[in-house]
Amino acid sequence: MNKIKTIVIGLILSALTTFAYAEFRVGITGSGVSFDDVKGSETTSSQTETDTLEAILPSIFIEKGFGPLTIGVDILPYKIEGETVTNDQSGSFVDQGSNNVTVDIDEHAKIYALLGLGDSPVYLKVAYTEADVLTSETMHTGSSYPDAELEGTYVGLGAQRDLDDAFIRVEAGFSSYDDISVTGTGGDDDANTVTVSGIDGFEAKISIGKAF
């Protein structure tokens, strides 16, 4: 996440020092995401859970244009709070008790490059994404799991329409994130490693912004 923060600071400073030579833009984006077949597994169990993740996520962006090329950062200025999952093992013969786990996503940021395709309103967009995965758990075994970092890439195609004092964009793309693995510590059993994979899927976006 520090890499994204460094780029944001550099982008703002660059915009201030070269304001007269490049276009500076800010705006908001609404993204609809759908990730099918996201799989979760653990080393202490043979079971694998598969789920579909869908959400509508608003974000803000800041960018700087250099002719047909634009460099920008898109940020979710809030935490994506996950539901608490409870696994009740009170009826089992070993490791009896209840486990409560909550996973949140925080500081989700995307740095992107946007390239206009000739004189048309169509553009190509590529991006690198980072976010913090925050775990909060109450385990009857006494074990705990560390936080992790989520990294991924995005490729999209969109179109922009300029208005009198603003612009609007529509865009569709595909995101793919690296697998996440965390290993529990401090418990009274063998260390359990939880892995989440298959975090990829399509996104649809609509943005409105203003150039300065």
User: What mean pLDDT is reported for the chain?
Assistant: 82
Residue 16 has pLDDT above 70, yes or no: no
Rounded to whole angstroms, what are the CA distances from 29 to 42, 75, 137, 169? 36, 10, 32, 9
Residue 22 has pLDDT above 90, yes or no: no
Half-sphere exposure of 120 (CA within 13 A, CB side): 9
**Predicted local confidence at residue 188, as pLDDT:** 59
Residue 174 has pLDDT above 70, yes or no: yes
Residue 77: φ, ψ to 5°: -85, 40
pLDDT-based confidence at 39, cuts 50/70/90?
confident
Helix-strand-coil split of the chain, %, nearest 5 = 10, 65, 30
Residue 21 has pLDDT above 70, yes or no: no
List the one residue out of 126, 140, 125, 151 whose CA is nearest residue 189. 140
Q: In 43-97, where do the E strands start and end?
A: 48-66, 69-75, 85-88
Q: What is the pTM of this model?
A: 0.79
pLDDT-based confidence at 52, cuts 50/70/90?
confident
